[in-house]
A and B are shown apart, each in its own frame.
Chain A
Amino acid sequence: MKLELDMFFLYGSTILPECILIFSLLIILIIDLTFPKKDTIWLYFISLTSLLISIIILLFQYKTDPIISFLGSFQTDSFNRIFQSFIVFCSILCIPLSIEYIKCAKMAIPEFLIFILTATVGGMFLCGANDLVTIFVSLECLSLCSYLLCGYTKRDIRSNEAAIKYLLIGGTSSSILAYGFSWLYGLSGGETNIQKITNGLLNAETYNSSGTFIAFICILVGLAFKLSLVPFHQWTPDIYEGSPTPVVAFLSVTSKIAGLALATRILNILFSFSPNEWKIFLEILAILSMILGNLVAITQTSMKRMLAYSSISQIGYILIGLITGDLKGYTSMTIYVFFYIFMNLGTFACIILYSLRTGTDNIRDYAGLYIKDPLLSFSLTLCLLSLGGLPPLTGFFGKLYLFWCGWQSGFYLLVFIALITSVISLYYYLKIIKLILTKKNNEINPYIQAYIITSPTFFSKNPIEFVMIFCVLGSTFLGIIINPIFSFFQDSLSLSVFFIK
């Protein structure tokens, strides 16, 4: 028994970044309980510091050899480390975004931070989960926080509606996923570790049976719900529209990254015996989400709904990298996810800023913004164009690498549809930009009329503007240095489990 305990402490360093976050979460809770006069700046400071420390540790550890710790329930390799640091990075960017919004909505701050941190921890655990039970538990940890964050503005009826919808849909998808897991557990002879399950399926020669197929379909449906791929996407626009905007910004990136890491792990390790089978299904889902996401996004009138459909189509693009299944495909997928953080969070920062000042997120109300606030309209333009993938910006390079890898691996139909749909996506992004730049605004809304900021201040103290400018810089100039980034990610990904065979 003594020896086992020593071994557990030896693996402590594998979950050190998560432990730091849990520790700071408890500190925030205790500070909130004990001190009646709350100095909220301290709470932000603590949470941001802990996130920074954990991302620094992650960056130091990123080139580790694959370690399986905690008796097979947690796996650490460079792939996880990269995705985990993405998640932490999102939280770092999202907390400044939400400061002013929470103040305006008069919500409780410490609980919000606790939920954000717990969701981050859940997502990080999900990235490294190597065990069916761990996957389920950490998925629930992430999604429970998401439901609570969606319903955080409890006086807003739309927020309540979004939370209830998210809860029901999330519960359904989790139960479908758990049903698939139970099939795998039975078929492999009572294993929960995913490597052992694959071995068990191969040994029992049940990997071609219909039971495995049922399990695969259930798990794929559960994953597609989490990633909001097209037949299972209906919840996304409603939830994006109803929830508080900083929460949407957080969830749209974090849950996608975590879901993507989970999908990569499950499909690659668990279903490694039938790669062609899951690739076909995933290809169908990706094609559907690219087409439908982009087509429906054209007709939207709300900015948040438009972004919801655009995120559905973006996840379709990202899946190309997963479908190709080689090192270059994974590298370009990782890079696109990295760029997507900047582009998406930059867009959301602009929307949050605008909706805080005017109280609207209707696309129509953005008309003529160019005269009133040059800085905001400039950054929104850059972020949207980058999301659409116009040549000199970051999004273009990300898409270029993704499509090129897909083309080289022979998925011609997929890449062809992706190309056409990205042209369509440029149309609706450009429609908004045209509205911003040209149209004369004759609105009755007094807030929009009164809203004029003529002097752009680049070094303002507003945290939202800071994040916005940071993201805009990222989504504009990161594409130029894509080659060093590509080789960096390729080097580190080649150390991950999927490529050491």
Chain B
Amino acid sequence: MILFYVFVVLALVSGAMVIRAKNPVHSVLFLILVFCNTSGLLVLLGLDFFAMIFLVVYVGAIAVLFLFVVMMLHIRIEEIHENVLRYLPVGGIIGLIFLLEIFLMVDNDYIPILPTKLSATYLTYTVYAGKIHSWTNLETLGNLLYTTYFFLFLVSSLILLVALIGAIVLTMHKTTKVKRQDVFIQNAIDFQNTIKKVR
């Protein structure tokens, strides 16, 4: 429970720091801290595989990409001395709407302040069948992906393949006229043949 509060507080504080930080590089670094804390929360929930994926995808790929972009763009730090509260009304209203939606979606039981619908005679039960053989997240995921959803898996793999090829096709500028350096040929060339005596 202490761990939970540590993660939550750290995540909230660093989430606030993402918007408050003057230096964009610092703000991306705080974003990474938010992701790390959230994946810690996921571990606490027992979703070990998702926590790892969260780290790999968000921290490993997206946040690092952001970091590169921010570093390349050379944003002057002095320029961002704007009025901080300018966007508060709009942002606050949108945030309140999202908060209300969460309250609507989540059952009252999960929120400690609100009165719960639980009565004293509420029966709890244990699924004993689930305790006989417990599968890990990874096993369940693999089982579902390769049996039930293997059709979707196939199509999405095609999408990924096309996206990969397409990114290469669109960005690679390979013209035949440019003289290019081929390292392999350079290394494999015979020394005897390169220098010749000219009489």
Contacts and interface: CB of A to CB of B under 8 A. Distances in A.
Contacts of B126: none
Given A137-B156, A140-B159, A148 B166 contact: yes
A8 B153 CA distance: 14
B159 A137 contact: yes
Contact of A144 (B150, B152, B154, B163): B163
Contact of B162 (A4, A73, A114, A151): A114
B98 interface: no
A141 B157 CA distance: 10
A152 B169 contact: yes
Given A8-B150, A141-B162, A148 B170 contact: yes
B147 interface: yes
Interface in B104-149: 147-149
Interface stretch (A118-126, A381-389, A484-492): A118-126
A71 B149 CA distance: 8
A73 B163 CA distance: 24
Interface in B149-196: 149-152, 154-156, 158-159, 161-163, 165-166, 169-170, 173
Contacts, number: 61
A148 B169 contact: yes
A115 B170 CA distance: 13
A141 B155 contact: yes
Interface residues of A, number: 32
B165 to A, nearest CB: 6
A168 to B, nearest CB: 16
Given A8-B150, A71-B148, A73-B152, A144 B159 contact: yes
Contact of B169 (A111, A137, A140): A111
Q: Which of B148, B152, B162 has the most CB of A within 10 A?
A: B162
A120 to B, nearest CB: 11
A63 B149 CA distance: 27
B155 A134 contact: yes
A70 B151 contact: yes
Nearest to A119: B162
Contacts of A121: 158
Contacts of B150: 8, 70
Interface in A356-378: none
A5 interface: yes
Contact of A151 (B148, B158, B170): B170
A144 B167 CA distance: 11
A127 B131 CA distance: 42
Interface string A48-76: 00000000000000000000001101100
Contacts of A151: 170
Interface string B60-88: 00000000000000000000000000000
Given A122-B158, A125-B155, A148-B162, 17 more contacts: A4-B147, A29-B165, A71-B148, A108-B169, A111-B169, A115-B162, A115-B166, A121-B158, A133-B152, A134-B155, A137-B156, A138-B155, A141-B159, A144-B159, A144-B163, A148-B166, A154-B169
Interface of B: 147-152, 154-156, 158-159, 161-163, 165-166, 169-170, 173
In the A-B complex, the 7 residue pairs with the smallest Cβ-Cβ separation, listed nearest first, are A148-B166, A70-B151, A137-B155, A111-B169, A118-B162, A141-B159, A73-B151
9 contacts: A4-B147, A5-B147, A8-B150, A22-B154, A73-B149, A114-B165, A115-B165, A118-B161, A141-B162
